[in-house]
Chain A
Amino acid sequence: MTGAIFDIVLCLLILAVALAAILGRDLFGSVVFFIVYGLLVALAWTRLGAVDVALAEAAIGAGLTGVLLVGAVARLRRGGVVEPTPPRPLARGAQMGICVLAAGLVGAAIAGLDPDAAGLTATVAQNLEASGVGNPVTAVLLNFRGYDTLLETVVLLVVLIGVWSLAEDRYWGGRPGLRQHAKPGGVLATYGRFLPPLGLLAGVYVVWAGTDQPGGAFQGGTILAAVWLLVAMAGLVDAPPVTARRLRLTIVAGPALFLAVAVAGIFMGGFLHLPPEHAKQLIQTIEAGLALSIAATLALLVAGPPQRGAR
C-alpha cells in the first residue's frame, strides 16, 4: 500500500517536474527542473529495481546532460540571445491535442500488453555463465549485445568530431572550451582539489564493479569525466589542443580496442565472439579502455569545440 503511494507520489512528482521543465517561463528554470527531473527518474529506476539504469540516468541523464544545458543557457544569455515568445494559443491547443492523442495511444498499447510476458530475463540468466560476468545487464551490454555497445561508443566519437568541427576555422588546433580560472584558494579551487580523489575512486569503482554488480564503463566513465571537468573548472588543468596526438589516441583507444577484440573474435569463433574462458578478462579490458575513452570524450563534449587561438 505504501509502495503504491510512494509510486504514485513519485510519478506525480515526475510528471509535474516534467511539465515545469517544458512549460517554465524561464529557460534557466526549465533546465534546473530538468536536472531535478533526471534525479527523480533515477529514483524511479531505483524503485523499479533497474539499478544500472538508475546509475546511468543519475550520471548521464541528470548529471552530464544537465551540466551541458546549464552551460549552454549561460552561454546564450551572455551572447544576448533573446527568448522567443510562446506560440499562439490556437496552435498550442492543436499541438497539445495531438500530443494527448499520442500519449493515449501509447497508454492503450501498454494496457494491451500481456501482463505475464517475461521478456528475455530467463534466457539471459541461462547464458549468464557463458558471458563471463555476473551482472546480467553488463552481460547483455558487452557480450550478448556487444555489437550495440560497440556502435554506441563510436556514436560518441562521431559526436565529438561533430562538435569539434563546429569550431571556427581560426581556432583549429587550439584547446577545447574556454580557459577556466578560479580564485586561488577560493571555494571553487578547493573543491577542485578535494573532490577529485573521491570521484576518481568512485568512478573506478563503478567501472570495476560493473562486471558483477550494477555499474559499468558508461556510468563510471561519466563520473570520471565529471571529475576531470571539475578539476578543469577549478582552473587546475587545461584541455590539450584538439590536434594533440595523445588526446586523439585517448578518445579512439576504447572503441579501437573494442573493435580489435571484436575482429580478433573472428579467429576464435566469430565476430565479437568472447570465448567464455577469457570472457571476463576481455570484458574488463574493454570496459577499462572504454571508460577511459568515454570519460575523455564526454569531458570534451561538455567542454565544447576549440574556442581559443591555435598556438
Chain B
Amino acid sequence: MILPALAPALSVAVPLAAAFLAVVAPRPRLLVGVTVPAMLAVMALAVLGVRQGGPLVLAVGGWEPPLGIALVADGLSTAFLVATALTIGTVLVVALPQFPIRQNETRAGWAFWPLAFLLWAALNAVFLSGDLFNIYVAIEFVTLATLALVALEGKAKQVEAAMRYAMFALFGSLAYLLGVALLYAAHGTLDIGLLAQLPAQDTASLVAAGLITAGLAAKTALFPFHAWLPPAHAGAPAPASAMLSALVPKASFYVLLRFWFDAMPEAAGAIALQLLGALGATAIVYGSILAVRQNRLKQLVAYSTVAQIGYLFLVFPLAGGSAEPQPWTAGAWTGSVFHAVSHAFAKAAMFLAVGHAVLAAGHDRMSAMDGLTRRMPMTAFALGVSAVTLMGLPPSGGFTAKFLLLTAAFASGQVLWAAIIVLGGVLAAAYLFRPLARAFLPDRGRYGTVPRAQQALPLALAMLSVVLGIVSAAPYDFLQTGRPAAAEEGLE
C-alpha cells in the first residue's frame, strides 16, 4: 500500500520534472510520450488507493498540520486530478504538431512545453493541497503559468488580454492572501481539516471568508468578474485555450468548494449564498447571450465558458449554508463537481476541435465551420458531442450534473435556480447552434485538413464527457470518498 500513498507526491513531482527537462532539453515528443503515460499510471494508483483505502492524506516531510502541510487526495481531489490528467494529456498530444521543435528552437515552440507541464503541476498542487496558504502559492503558480500561456501568441491583443486577466487575477490573489492572513491570525492554522473543527464566527474569519470568496470568484471568472476571460482564452493558441478554459477556472472553483464545504462549512449566511447563486445564474444567462452574439469561433467558445461557470456557483445556494446536511446536499454538491469535470472534458474537446477547424481554414470566423462534417467529420462529431455536454443533454456528464442540481433545486424548494438551469441548457443550444449548423453547409473556398489521428483526440475527450454520463454511478460513489458520512445518503 505504499504505492498509492505516493500518488499525491508523484502527481506534482512528475510534471515538474518534465517541465525542468523541457526547459533544458526540449524534446516534446519524448517528454509527452513518457510523462502522459506515467501520469496516467499515477492517476490509476491514486484512484485505486482512494477506492480501497479511503482518502489519502500525506503529511509532507512527515510534519503533521498545523506545522506542516498535508496533501489530501480524497474523492473530490482525485476526481479533479484525473480530469486534469486526461485533459492535459490529450491536449499535449494534440499540441505536438502545433508546437514542434525542429533544428531551430522557436520561442513558442520552446516555451509552450515547460509552461504546459508547469500548469499541470500547478493544477495538481491546487487539487491536492490541504493547506490554505499552500493553495495560495499553487493558485498563483496556476495564474502565472496561465498568464504566460495567454500571451504566448505575442500579439498586442493577447498581451492586452493577459494584462487584463492579470488585473483580476492579482486582485483575487491579494484578496485571498489577505483572507488567509486573517484566518491564520484568528486560528493559528491554515490546515483545512483543522479549520473545519474550529468555530468560525469571529469577525476576522468572516471577513476572511468574504475576501477569499470574492477573490476566488474573480479568478473563476464568475459574472460580473468574467470580462477578462473571453479575450484571454480566445486569444491563446488552441491547445492552451483548451487547458485554460477547461481547467484553470476549475482550480479556483475547487478551492472555493473546499473552503465552503470543508474548511468553514458553517460560516455561510443564507443571503450570501443566494447572492453567489444569483451571480452564477446571471452568468449562465449573460454568458449565453454574449456567446450568441459572437462572430468568432473561439470567442464564442470562451463566452460559453463564462456561462458554464455560472452553474458551478449554484452549488452554494443548493448545498451550502447548513451544518445539518439536507438530503439533497450530496446531490447538489456532487452535481456541481460532475459539472466541473464534464465541462472540463467537453470544453477542452471543443477548443481543440475548433482549433483544428481553425487550422484547416486559416481563420476563426464562423465560416471556418462550413462543410466541416464533410471535410473533417471527426472534428465535427467531436464538436457535436461536446456541445451535447455543454447543453446538458443526456447521455452526458453535463446532463447528470444538471439532473442532480435540478433535483436538489426542487427538493430544497429553490425553483428559481431550477428554471435557470433549464434555461441555460436552451441558451447553450442557441449559441452552439450556429457553428454546428454551419458544419452542414457546403464548404466554400479552400481548406486544409488535419490528420485523422489528430482529429480523433478531441473526439475521444468529448466522448469522455459522455461516458461520464453513462457510467456515472462509480464516479458518484467515488466522489463521496472522504465526504462527511451524513451527506452520502443522497436523495431518496
Contact = CB atoms under 8 A, between A and B. Distances in A.
B105 A172 contact: yes
A147 B145 contact: no
Interface stretch (B12-20, B362-370, B434-442): B12-20
B115 interface: yes
A112 B115 contact: no
Main SS class of interface, A? helix
Contact of A158 (B8, B141, B202, B204): B141
B141 A106 contact: no
Contacts of A114: 186
Contacts of B105: 172-173, 243
B203 interface: yes
Interface stretch (A7-15, A41-49, A77-85, A138-146): A138-146
A83 B59 CA distance: 51
B107 interface: yes
A114 B184 CA distance: 12
A251 interface: yes
A248 B77 CA distance: 33
Interface string B119-148: 001100100000001100110110011011
B121 A155 contact: no
B107 A167 contact: yes
Contact of A144 (B68, B104, B144, B148): B68
A148 B134 contact: yes
Contacts of B61: 143-144, 146-147, 265, 270-274
A249 interface: yes
Interface residues of A, number: 58
Contacts of A159: 144, 148
Given A259-B17, A272-B61, A155 B137 contact: yes
A146 B68 CA distance: 9
Contacts of B167: none
A237 interface: no
Main SS class of interface, B? helix
B184 A127 contact: no
B106 A158 contact: no
Nearest to A147: B60
Interface string A119-131: 1100110010000
A110 B184 CA distance: 12
Interface in A215-230: none
Contacts of B475: none
Contacts of B140: 155
A167 B151 CA distance: 11
B270 to A, nearest CB: 20
Given A146-B61, A172-B107, A108 B207 contact: yes
A19 B46 CA distance: 51
B6 interface: yes
A105 interface: yes
B273 interface: no
A15 to B, nearest CB: 17
A169 B63 CA distance: 46
A112 B204 contact: yes
A210 interface: no
Contacts of B204: 109-110, 112-113
A214 interface: no
A259 B13 contact: yes
22 contacts: A106-B178, A109-B182, A109-B185, A110-B204, A113-B202, A113-B204, A120-B67, A144-B68, A154-B16, A157-B118, A169-B107, A172-B105, A248-B23, A248-B24, A255-B16, A263-B9, A269-B62, A270-B58, A270-B59, A270-B62, A271-B58, A272-B9
Given A243-B105, A263-B9, 18 more contacts: A113-B185, A117-B185, A117-B188, A120-B188, A145-B63, A148-B69, A148-B137, A154-B19, A154-B118, A158-B115, A158-B144, A159-B144, A169-B107, A172-B105, A252-B23, A255-B20, A262-B9, A274-B61
A-B interface, 5 closest residue pairs, ranked by CB to CB distance from nearest: A162-B148, A112-B203, A271-B9, A165-B111, A109-B204
Interface of A: 105-106, 108-114, 117-120, 123-124, 127, 143-148, 151-152, 154-155, 157-159, 161-162, 164-169, 172-173, 243, 245, 248-249, 251-252, 255-256, 259, 262-263, 265-266, 269-274
